[in-house]
Amino acid sequence: MSNQPYKIFLVDDHTLFRNGLRGLLDSRNDCQVVGEASSGEEFLAKLPDCDIDVVFMDIAMGGISGDETTARALEIRPDLKVITLSMFGDEDYYYRMVSVGAKGFLLKSSDIDEVTTAIETVANGGSYFSQELLDSLVSCLRTTPQPSPQVATEDDEELSERELEVLLEICKGLSNQQIADKLFISKRTVDKHRANILDKTGCPNTANLVVYAIKHNLVEI
């Protein structure tokens, strides 16, 4: 990433919230809000003409929902990086947004430091999920019996010890380069491990691996 600020687009139907978040982001040297929309329809109309690094997407809006907006936006710009914003801690919202390709999830109660960490992580190819959300997911998923660690299902292959190490770091939101540095291996090796993990688990994207890992007791977050 160059020294240019991250270009941010805000999609939320509450003007007061957008103004507050814009003010916080614009006060920083590393962020620049390049556009706003009060609805999914308005955002989709503006998208083709916008140069964006990260989109903050409200999940519950009038008109088309945040998940439908995200799905349509990614059809137009498959490389678009979306962070979900929600007033809720309900994991159902996580599943909906992850399923359509969101790369991060923040509660609107998050502080500015967490917001900027999420921006940097997602803009550079990682995934970011608020700790409060992860705690909620863990609590919910563990109320029902789950498979034992490393037990392969009928359609899944067992993960190797190294793949489990990489999976843990993925769930923490680290990029491939950060994982490589932490585990003292090459980025190319991490790329290969990530691809193998996605193939073995049948997960369509990195974000889904968080749910998979928790459901199968593969990681402690």
Domain chopping of the chain, boundaries: 6-129, 145-215
More confident residue, 49 or 88: 49
Q: Which two tokens stand for residue 197?
A: 């993990």
Name the amino acid, one letter, at 87: M
Q: What percent of the chain has pLDDT over 90?
A: 46
- 119 φψ region: left (φ > 0), alpha (ψ -120 to 50), beta (else): alpha
> Coil, strand or helix: which one is 56?
strand
The reported pLDDT for the residue numbered 21 is: 94
The residues, any chain, with a CB within 8 Å of residue 131's CB and separated by 6 or more, are none
Average model confidence (pLDDT) across the chain = 83
Question: Quick check: 219 pLDDT over 90?
Answer: no
Average pLDDT of the residues in 137-152? 50
CA 146/CA 162 separation, integer angstroms = 22
Which residue is listed with tokens 């990530």? 194
Note the pLDDT tens digit of each residue in 148-179: 444 344 445 688 999 999 988 887 767 889 99
**128: which strand partners?**
104
The reported pLDDT for the residue numbered 139 is: 64
Note the pLDDT tens digit of each residue in 184-211: 999 999 999 999 999 998 887 776 787 7
Q: Give the 3-state DSSP-derived string for 60-72, with helices as H, strands as E and coil as C.
A: CCCCCCHHHHHHH
Nearest to 40 by CA among 82, 98, 78, 87: 82
CA dist 212 → 9, 144, 147, 150, 153 (Å)? 30, 14, 11, 12, 12
Question: Quick check: 25 pLDDT over 90?
Answer: yes
Q: What percent of the chain has pLDDT over 70?
A: 82
Note the pLDDT tens digit of each residue in 105-132: 888 888 899 999 999 989 988 888 887 7
Which CATH number describes the domain made up of 145-215?
Answer: 1.10.10.10
> Coil, strand or helix: which one is 78?
coil
Q: How many residues are listed for the chain in this entry?
A: 221
CA 190/CA 196 separation, integer angstroms = 10
More confident residue, 141 or 121: 121
Question: Quick check: 135 pLDDT over 80?
Answer: no
Across the beta sheet with 6-11, the strand order is 31-37, 6-11, 54-58, 82-86, 104-107, 128-129
Q: Classify domain 6-129 at the CATH topology level.
A: Rossmann fold (3.40.50)
Greatest CA span in the chain, whole angstroms?
52
